[in-house]
Chain A
Amino acid sequence: AQSVTQLDSQVPVFEEAPVELRCNYSSSVSVYLFWYVQYPNQGLQLLLKYLSGSTLVKGINGFEAEFNKSQTSFHLRKPSVHISDTAEYFCAVSDHGGGFKTIFGAGTRLFVKA
């Protein structure tokens, strides 16, 4: 069965600084990986996804993530954050062994300070 671990529950960072949100997964088969963002009192929305091909994936709002199969990681990065990036970020995985389920990590709260 697949699982997702987000290594940091909270990440405080100053505005315009770079940020990395860490995600590790476990799965016995090929995986599809996603990052979602949840703003306060809203549902989740897709930031980016890795399905196959290039391991560096670019998403919306200047975010990107790199798939590393050997380290089973899919870390999310942004070179310069804005106050408006303050939100909860979720890493998610689905695979052929999961029965159409998308499994989410526990989330990382990104807090951007002025």
Chain B
Amino acid sequence: DTAVSQTPKYLVTQMGNDKSIKCEQNLGHDTMYWYKQDSKKFLKIMFSYNNKELIINETVPNRFSPKSPDKAHLNLHINSLELGDSAVYFCASSQGRIYNSPLHFGNGTRLTVT
């Protein structure tokens, strides 16, 4: 059983398009995250939701909009895609709204904008 699953695994699209990435976790966690990993492998947090409430919203262009329909799902919608959005996007989850809870990651979505 996959604990944190993301779809799609690969996403190739043209500049200006709108795309979505979906994430689901079956670990029973109530906190979920989106991280962006650039070409140099640097990981940066974008958003976090706890029980459908947005608790972290980093300095991310407002073309990126997260949505959590329930605590097991966190989606990421990106409008007007730009070349610089090309990266690997990771969904993660953790147990509860606590600082010492390790993150469980999905396998990532590789977004390529041409």
Interface positions of A (Cβ within 8 A of B): 32, 34, 36, 38, 41-46, 49, 51, 88, 90, 94-96, 98-104, 106-107, 109
User: Which residue of A is nearest B50, CB measured?
Assistant: A100
Q: Inside 8 A of B55's CB, which chain A residues have their CB?
A: 99-100
The answer to whether residues A104 and B99 also contact, given A43-B90, A44-B90 and a CB cut-off of 8 A, is no
Instruction: Please report the C-alpha to C-alpha distance between residue A88 and residue B90 in the assembled complex, in whole angstroms.
Output: 15
User: Which residue of B is nearest A49, CB measured?
Assistant: B102
A-B contact pairs, 16 of them (CB 8 A): A41-B107, A41-B108, A42-B108, A43-B4, A43-B90, A43-B92, A43-B108, A44-B90, A44-B103, A51-B100, A94-B100, A99-B56, A100-B98, A100-B99, A101-B45, A106-B42
**Interface residues as binary, B44-81 with A (CB distance below 8 Å gives 1, 0 otherwise):** 11001010000110000000000000000000000000
* Contact for B99 among A32, A42, A90, CB less than 8 A: A32
Interface positions of B (Cβ within 8 A of A): 4, 31, 40-45, 48, 50, 55-56, 90, 92, 97-100, 102-108
Given contacts A99-B56, A102-B45, 5 further A-B contacts (CB under 8 A): A36-B105, A43-B105, A90-B43, A106-B41, A107-B41
Q: Inside 8 A of A45's CB, which chain B residues have their CB?
A: 105
Q: Inside 8 A of A49's CB, which chain B residues have their CB?
A: 100, 102
Instruction: Please report the C-alpha to C-alpha distance between residue A51 and residue B98 in the assembled complex, in whole angstroms.
Output: 12
Instruction: Please report the C-alpha to C-alpha distance between residue A103 and residue B33 in the assembled complex, in whole angstroms.
Output: 12
Instruction: Please report the C-alpha to C-alpha distance between residue A51 and residue B100 in the assembled complex, in whole angstroms.
Output: 7
Q: Decide if A46 touches B102 in the complex (CB within 8 Å).
A: yes
Instruction: Please report the C-alpha to C-alpha distance between residue A51 and residue B43 in the assembled complex, in whole angstroms.
Output: 22
B76 to A: closest C-beta gap in Å: 15
Q: Inside 8 A of B92's CB, which chain A residues have their CB?
A: 43-44
Q: Decide if A106 touches B40 in the complex (CB within 8 Å).
A: yes
Q: Inside 8 A of B43's CB, which chain A residues have their CB?
A: 44, 90, 104, 107
The answer to whether residues A44 and B99 also contact, given A90-B43, A101-B56, A106-B41 and a CB cut-off of 8 A, is no
